Chains A and B, each alone.
Chain A
Amino acid sequence: MDLDREKYLVLKAKTDASAFGELYDEYYGKIYSYILKRTANVVAAQDITSEVFLKALDNIKRFEWRGIHFSAWLYRIADNEINNSYMRNSRLAHLKEELEETAKLLNISLEQEIEQAESHLSKQALFLALHKCITQLPVKYQEVLTLKYFEKKKIKEISLILGKREGTIKSLLHRGIKKLKTLIGDATF
């Protein structure tokens, strides 16, 4: 989505549900995918994605374009939720119940979908091996390494998402790789 369109939709979404829906359609996959790469857990990623969009909905009216794109804002919310150790709350529990009830009515099998996603994930052997090591690093390295190598984001994009200078991102990546290398040692994947 180009920036002008995104800006227009964000402005419109403050008073128009369909505009919020369009933004949701655009970013659901990207945000879910990022969270999955950070957590390597299909169900947790699903819950965190729900929380991210609930928060986005709660705060869309207050969102102002101050040098940060809407998509970067979503990534930041996602980062915050992941770093909160997947802390769940009663609001999310209520939402989950609501989704399950609607799923029954619409005859959508969430379990089957989760099983398929988990099966797909389990085949990503190299990713899972590296992810296991990356999660042992401090969060600041997890964030930059995931965004750079799993999400294939450019330094500039990572800088926008994390709200840090490009120089800081480069330095974090450099140190992150060194720490990851030390952690892996002589092991091969």
Chain B
Amino acid sequence: MEEKDLINQLESIQFDEIELHGHKTLLRTALLKRYAAEVGDSTSNKNILQRIKEGITLKKLLRQPAFAGIMVVLLIITSMVAFSYFLGQHEKALAAEIARNSIEVAEALEGEEISGIKIIAITDNLATVKVEGVEGGSIIVKVNLLERVMRQIIIGELTSEEVEKITNILNGESDILEIINQGAVISGLHVYKVVMPENNAEKEPLEKRVQVTIILETRKYDADIEIISGEVLWFGEVGSPGWFERHIW
């Protein structure tokens, strides 16, 4: 079979959607039951009368003359926020583009293909960018947005005291401790954010964030830890080992 014929055959497949209505209904009920049990959701229990009442209140409000003035103020604020947002988005895109095309980044990743770029912070035209590789490697880089050049590449380092502190933090978190007790192992630690006091690089950092990769059998978890405060910022399952880095949150 020729390649072209194969593509034609693949493209010709029209798959009628198969939906399992019974399963869909039952799963929906079970999920929402779980949700309600976990958060004690109140909004889902609102009855129709309450919703109608809310609608009427809003209508009345819209007819008030003072409301027009408030709307103008809100419009100005919204425009300012939107402008800052778009400016921020432009800076983020620029930082990501510079990092993606940088020879230094490619070298630091040792040829590993880039799977994702995250903008950690932008201060005074200096962007801190995390570049992730498909094989799990990652580096932190600083990009000068005015000069449009790479400033420096930071590969986070940890002292033995910090590693010990991280271990204590992990052991203090019940969810993490649970999987460690099941045989999970820590497969990676890397610093992805360091905040230094302004105008004094000699001082201790104000904030130091570390991503801990934990493997339990075929499951992979990430824990984001702030070492200085000892806080676990986030913990959750992200995929299976060997599977390329997929940050799903």
Closest chain-A Cβ to B6's Cβ sits at a distance in Å of 5
Task: Choose from A49, A62, A117, A184 the contact partner of B27 (Cβ within 8 Å).
Answer: A49
* Residues of A close to B236: CB separation below 8 A: 59, 62
Cβ-defined contact, A36 with B32, below 8 A? no
Cβ-defined contact, B30 with A99, below 8 A? yes
Cβ-defined contact, A127 with B15, below 8 A? yes
Q: Counting CB contacts under 8 A, is A130 at the interface?
A: yes
Q: Counting CB contacts under 8 A, is A170 at the interface?
A: no
Cβ-defined contact, A188 with B1, below 8 A? yes
Cβ-defined contact, A17 with B35, below 8 A? yes
CA distance A106 to B116 in the complex (A): 46
Task: Choose from A21, A121, A149, A165 the contact partner of B28 (Cβ within 8 Å).
Answer: A21
Chain A residue nearest to B46 in the complex (CB): A18
Q: Counting CB contacts under 8 A, is B243 at the interface?
A: yes
A interface bracket (residues with beta carbon within 8 Å of B)? 35 or more
Chain B residue nearest to A189 in the complex (CB): B9
Task: Choose from B18, B116, B246, B249 the contact partner of A33 (Cβ within 8 Å).
Answer: B18
Q: Counting CB contacts under 8 A, is A187 at the interface?
A: yes
Q: Counting CB contacts under 8 A, is A2 at the interface?
A: no
Cβ-defined contact, A165 with B114, below 8 A? yes
* Residues of A close to B56: CB separation below 8 A: none
Chain B residue nearest to A168 in the complex (CB): B113
Q: Which of A101-132 contact B (CB under 8 A)?
A: 102-103, 106, 108-110, 113-114, 117, 120-121, 124, 126-127, 130
Cβ-defined contact, A103 with B248, below 8 A? no
> Interface-forming stretch among B36-44, B76-84, B138-146, B166-174?
B36-44
Cβ-defined contact, A32 with B249, below 8 A? no
Cβ-defined contact, B249 with A64, below 8 A? yes
A53-B31, A130-B9 known; A73+B26 contact, CB < 8 A: no
Chain A residue nearest to B237 in the complex (CB): A55
* Residues of A close to B20: CB separation below 8 A: 32, 42, 46, 110, 113-114, 117
Q: Counting CB contacts under 8 A, is A57 at the interface?
A: yes
Q: Counting CB contacts under 8 A, is A137 at the interface?
A: no
Cβ-defined contact, A145 with B36, below 8 A? no
Cβ-defined contact, B31 with A164, below 8 A? no
Cβ-defined contact, B26 with A108, below 8 A? yes
A 163-189 binary contact with B (CB < 8 Å = 1; else 0): 111001000000001101100111111
Q: Which of B1, B3, B114, B248: most chain A Cβ within 10 A?
A: B248
CA distance A142 to B18 in the complex (A): 20
Q: Which of B71-118 contact A (CB under 8 A)?
A: 113-116, 118
Cβ-defined contact, B246 with A17, below 8 A? no
A109-B22, A117-B18, A130-B10 known; A24+B31 contact, CB < 8 A: yes
Cβ-defined contact, B249 with A57, below 8 A? no
Closest chain-A Cβ to B139's Cβ sits at a distance in Å of 18
Q: Counting CB contacts under 8 A, is A4 at the interface?
A: no
Cβ-defined contact, A36 with B18, below 8 A? yes
* Residues of B close to A80: CB separation below 8 A: 239-240, 243, 246
Q: Counting CB contacts under 8 A, is B48 at the interface?
A: no
Q: Counting CB contacts under 8 A, is A20 at the interface?
A: yes
CA distance A18 to B44 in the complex (A): 5
Task: Choose from B1, B17, B43, B218 the contact partner of A15 (Cβ within 8 Å).
Answer: B43
Task: Choose from A25, A66, A79, A103 the contact partner of B22 (Cβ within 8 Å).
Answer: A103
Q: Counting CB contacts under 8 A, is B16 at the interface?
A: yes
CA distance A184 to B25 in the complex (A): 40
Q: Which of B194-211 contact A (CB under 8 A)?
A: none
CA distance A168 to B114 in the complex (A): 10
A 70-91 binary contact with B (CB < 8 Å = 1; else 0): 0001001101100110010000
Query: 8 extra interchain contacts, Cβ-Cβ under 8 A, other than A66-B247, A121-B18?
Result: A46-B23, A50-B27, A130-B10, A148-B10, A163-B247, A164-B134, A180-B6, A188-B1
Which 3 A/B pairs are nearest by Cβ-Cβ distance? Answer: A149-B10, A17-B44, A108-B22
User: B-side interface residues toward A, CB under 8 Å?
Assistant: 1, 3, 6-7, 9-13, 15-32, 34-36, 39, 41, 43-44, 113-116, 118, 134, 218, 234, 236-237, 239-240, 243-249
